[in-house]
Amino acid sequence: MQTVGAYEAKTHLPKLIRRVQKGERVTITKHGVPIAIIQPADPHKPKRHVEAVIEELRRFRENKTLGGMSIRELIEAGRR
């Protein structure tokens, strides 16, 4: 895995992307400290579709209440 400074990564991003497409991993550093890794996407990882995410949110909300408070009251309570 190669290490590249943030400035160089910004300047040469298209070149880095081509290398990643070929299977390489690149670590981006800022002042010598690793801050990110660019690597090929996992083609076997399932993609979440918008509809599936919305359905997950709906299931999460089931049987949850605001404890009798309105959204406005919750907002005001959070400001105190």
Whether the CB-CB separation of 61 and 54 falls below 8 Å is answered with no
Residues 5 and 77: their CA atoms lie apart, in Å, by: 45
Helices (H), 1-79: 6-11, 13-21, 50-61, 71-79
8 plus 33 within the same structural domain? yes
pLDDT tens figures, 39-70: 998 877 777 788 888 999 999 989 888 888 88
Do 6 and 33 fall into the same domain?
Answer: yes
Tell whether 44 is covered by a domain.
no
Residue with more model confidence, 6 or 43? 6
CATH of the domain at 16: 3.40.1620
pLDDT confidence tier of residue 71, bands split at 50, 70 and 90: confident
- Please tell me whether residues 33 and 56 are part of one structural domain: no
Note the pLDDT of residue 22. Answer: 94
What global pTM score does this model have? Answer: 0.54
Give a yes or no: residue 45 inside a domain: no
- Statement to judge: residues 26 and 54 lie in one domain: no
Choose among 20, 11, 10, 18: nearest CA to 2.
20
Domain housing 59: 50-79
Taking residue 9's Cβ as centre, other Cβ atoms within 10 Å add up to 20
Structural domain total, the chain: 2
Structure-block tokens of residue 66: 């605001």
